Amino acid sequence: MKDFLIIGGGLAGILTAYNLLLRDNSLTIKIIDNSFDSAAWRVAAGIINPVSGKRIVKTINAEDILSSIIALNTLLSEQSGKTFFHPKPIIRIFRDNTEQNAWIRKLDNTAEYEEWIEKYDTSFLHAPYGCGIIKKGGYLDIRGLLKTMMHTIADKVIFQTSTFGANPYNNTHYTKEAQTVIMCYGWEMMYNPLWSFLPFAPFKGEVLTVKIPKQLSDEFILNNGTYFLPLHNGTARIGATIEHNQLDYMPTEKSKNKLLQDFFSMTGIKPEVVDHKAGIRPGIEDRYPVIGRHPHHNNIFILNGLGGRGAFYAPYCSSLLADFLLSEKEIPAQYSVHRYYHLYR
C-alpha cells in the first residue's frame, strides 16, 4: 500500500488527491491545509484563456490542457449532476497597435491559430485599436469544483487543518507522516529550505465583484489586460492587478480605481462594487508551473507556480504529477522541476 501526504488543500492539492485516487482507489492520502481565507484559489475568478500576452501566444499544450478541464468537468458532472466549466468566448480588446498587429500576423500567417482566434467587430465596446475573439475561453467554478471533489473523496482521504507557516515540517517529520510527500501550499513555499532554490516570482492580485450592468452582454468575457467575467448570479468579477513588491493581503484603493478605470475604458460604464479582495499567486520566473521530485529527497515532490492561471493549469498539471508518481510517466520538460536542478546547492 502506498500512502501520500499532501501539504496544501487548495486547487492543486485537492486535484492531485483526486487524480491519484482515480488511478488507484486503494491509496492512503492525507491532506493538510491551513484553511486560509485569502488563499489564491478563494480570490481567483477561474478564467480559462489559452491565448494570452501582448504577443498573442497560444499556451504550449493548450489542447491537452483544455482536454483535461473538459474531462474533469464531464466526470464530476456525471457524479454530481452539476457543471463547473463554463465555456465563454473572450473578447480581446487591443490596447495599442502592437497588440493589434500581433493578432493580425497570427491570423494571416499561422494556420495553427485559425481554430483559436478570429476577427471581431463590436459596437458596444470602446476599442480604438480593434478587438478579436478567443474562441475557446471560459471560466471554472473553482469553489464548486473543490466542494464537489472533497465530497467525492471524503471517505478516502484524511483532511487535517493546521495553521502551518512557510515551512510547516522538517524533513524528519515528512518521512514519519507518509512514504510520499507532495507540497503545493502556495507562494510561501519560496521560504521553505527544500524549495528555496527555485526562482519563485509571486505577485499580489486584487479582484472586484460588481453588479452586472443591464446594458452589458453577459455572453462574453472581456479582456483589455483587465478582465470582466459575468457570472450566473447577476454579478461579475473584474481583475486582476499585478503587484510584485508589496506581498500582503490588503485590498488597496489604488488598485480598485485602476480596475474600475480599465473597465470604464472598455465599456464607458461605472459599475457598483460589492466586494474587493486581494490574494497572492505563486508564480515562477518563466511563468510555467513546476512539477516533480526534489533533486535530493526522493520521496518529496512539488506542484507549484501556477501563477494567475491556476484554474487553467491545475487539472492538467495534477494529472501529470499523478501519472509520474504512480506510473513514472515523464513530465514535459517545460513543466518539470528538473529544469531548475542546476540551481540546487
> What pTM was computed for the model?
0.94
Cis preceding-peptide flag for 240 (omega within 30 of 0): yes
Q: Which residues contact 78 (CB under 8 A, 6 or more apart)?
A: none
Residues 53 and 40 in one domain: no
Q: Show the cell assigned to 133.
A: 475573439
Q: Is residue 277 located within the same domain as residue 320? A: no
Query: Do 51 and 136 have their domain in common?
Result: yes
**In terms of domains, do 250 and 271 share one?**
yes
Total domains in the fold of the chain:
3
Q: Which of 281, 302, 327 is the last residue of a domain?
A: 281
- Of 275, 280, 277, 276, residue with least CA distance to 248: 280
Are residue 128 and residue 250 in the same domain, yes or no?
A: no
The sheet with strand 180-183 has its strands ordered as: 157-161, 28-33, 3-7, 180-183, 300-304, 290-293
138 neighbors 131 (Cβ within 8 angstroms): no
The reply to whether 109 and 239 lie within a common domain is no
* Grid coordinates belonging to 200: 519563485
pLDDT, residue 38, reads: 72
Q: Which residue in the block uniquely carries the three cell numbers 488563499? A: 39
Cell of 342: 542546476
Rounded Cα distance between 157 and 31, Å, is 7
The answer to whether the CB of 102 falls within 8 A of the CB of 55 is yes
- What pLDDT shows up at residue 124? 83
- pLDDT on residue 163: 67
Cα–Cα dist 281/106, whole Å: 30
Do 241 and 97 fall within a single domain? Answer: no
Query: Which DSSP string do the residues of 217-245 spell out, in sequence order?
Result: -SSSEEESSSEEEE-TTSEEEEE---BSS
Q: In the chain, where does DSSP find H-type helix?
A: 11-23, 40-43, 62-80, 97-109, 142-152, 171-177, 253-267, 310-327
335: CATH: 3.50.50.60
Is residue 291 exposed (0-12), middle (13-18) or buried (19+ Cβ within 10 Å)? buried
- DSSP per residue over 146-176, as a string? HHHHHHHTTTTEEEEE----SS---HHHHHH
CB 40, CB 10: distance < 8 Å = yes
**CATH number of residue 265's parent domain:** 3.30.9.10
Each of the 345 residues of the chain gets a pLDDT tens digit; together they read: 479 999 999 999 999 999 999 999 999 999 999 887 778 888 999 999 999 988 899 999 999 999 999 999 999 999 999 999 999 999 999 999 999 999 999 998 788 899 999 999 888 899 999 999 999 999 999 999 999 999 999 999 999 987 655 555 554 455 566 789 999 999 999 999 999 999 999 999 999 999 987 778 889 999 999 999 998 788 999 999 999 999 999 999 999 999 999 999 999 999 999 999 999 999 999 999 999 999 999 999 999 999 999 999 999 999 999 999 999 999 999 999 999 999 998
What gap in Å lies between CA 117 and CA 96, rounded to an integer? Answer: 18
Same domain, yes or no: 37 and 54: no
Domain boundary among 140, 164, 181: 140
Task: Assess whether 266 and 122 both reside in one domain.
Answer: no
Q: Are residues 271 and 300 in the same domain?
A: no
- All cell numbers assigned to 277: 479582495
Give the structural domain span for 54: 47-140
Same domain, 52 and 13: no
Please say which residue of 281, 301, 323 terminates a domain. 281
Q: Are residues 193 and 117 in the same domain?
A: no
In this prediction, residue 40 carries a pLDDT of: 85
* pLDDT value of position 326: 97
